[in-house]
Amino acid sequence: MSLAAAKPVEEIDGVAPDAIPAWVFEREEPLVLRGLVADWPAIPEGEGDLDQLERYLSKFWTAKPVTAYVASEDASGRFGYNTAFNGFNFRSGSAPLVDIVNRLREQQAPPDGSPLAIYVGSTPVDGWLPGFDKANSLAIPGDPLVNFWLGNRTTVSAHYDFPSNVACVVYGRRRFTLFPTDQIDNLYVGPVDRTPSGQPISLVDFEDPDFQEFPRFRNAIAVSQGCELGPGDAIFIPSMWWHHVQALSDCNLLVNYWWLDHGQHFGSPFNVLLHGILSIRHLPEEQRRAWQTLMNFYVFDAAATPHIPVHAQGCLGDMDQQEAQRLREELLNRLKV
């Protein structure tokens, strides 16, 4: 039985893909934009099927192999860790998109009656579907990274992304369940350095949650938001919000846009997290508390330092690309131990 979110995600409709209001991108909670891309040429009649999908994507796809993940029927479409927790419950391979679509077609009526879950995730549109983005455009601030996600009935476990996100359903239907960032303790998140696809994921099976093993997950459910989207619908997911995504159809295609609200030269905070685990997590408690105070002062509170002359503030002053590069080089030198 699928998890029922505590409340629906707020919705609006009537927004044009080239005129999304600025306030949407400033929200601190998710927002469904019904019919945002309903007029895209890629959007089929109804939910769409593999024949329609193949006809349209073949206008753009190349012969370049794409990475795909395959899981057996035992995984129930949920990609993650194996039961022994010493590896993953899927395997990966690569093939051109035409072959992936043919494999998806085979799984609609597999000879042995055991359909495989097939999943192509986070693949740049420009690299594998050149021209698709121009034919199906969306006005997003800055210079977004545009990706597509293709597969059958698959589930991406709850995870967060650092960039802000607008995800557009093109084929099939998808169910989203979302949680605020502060729910990390209630989501029972797995390792940060050994992940299925680069992001830490919740270990809870949302289809059949084990509340004896994961009792605090009830607290996460209490503040969850959910929605179901069909072709032409989109959802705005703020940076760092946890989201669990379930594809509900045999044929699913989603296109998403990731972007950052600040300069790329600042780098990824996830690198800081890993270094903090390396250098702070295992210190004695009193030293951890001291470093927490320093981090709060310099990083999280971003304390003003008017007592230091502007020309001498270094990395505490304005951080342009040149200063960011200087600091990055200094960090690299310090890491050579």
Quote the pLDDT of residue 157.
97
Quote the pLDDT of residue 323.
85
Over range 282-286, report the average pLDDT: 95
What residues pair up with 146 in beta bridges, in sequence order? 257
Quote the pLDDT of residue 319.
82
Indicate if the alpha-carbon torsion angle 115, 120, 125, 126 is positive or negative: negative
Percent of the chain with pLDDT over 90: 77
Closest CA to 159 of 191, 116, 131: 191
- DSSP element (H, E) containing 171: strand 164-171
d(CA 163, CA 166): 10
d(CA 241, CA 27): 12
Quote the pLDDT of residue 141.
87
At 257-281, the pLDDT tens digits run 999 877 677 788 888 999 999 999 9
At 25-76, the pLDDT tens digits run 999 999 999 999 999 999 998 899 999 999 999 999 999 999 999 999 999 9
Over range 212-216, report the average pLDDT: 97
At 177-209, the pLDDT tens digits run 999 999 999 999 999 989 998 899 999 999 999
Q: What SS3 state is found at 220?
A: helix
At 81-98, the pLDDT tens digits run 999 999 999 999 999 999
pLDDT band at 114 (very low <50, low <70, confident <90, very high): confident
* Predicted confidence (pLDDT) at residue 113 exceeds the cutoff of 80: no
Quote the pLDDT of residue 4.
84
Closest CA to 233 of 60, 32, 7: 32
Written as one string, the DSSP assignment of 263-329 is -GGG--HHHHHHHHHHHTTTS-HHHHHHHHHHHIIIIIS----TTS-GGG-GGGS---HHHHHHHHH
Q: Whole-model pTM?
A: 0.93
Quote the pLDDT of residue 2.
63
For residue 321, which amino acid is it?
Q
What domains sit in the chain, N to C, each tagged with a CATH number?
7-261 (2.60.120.10), 265-335 (no CATH)
d(CA 264, CA 172): 33
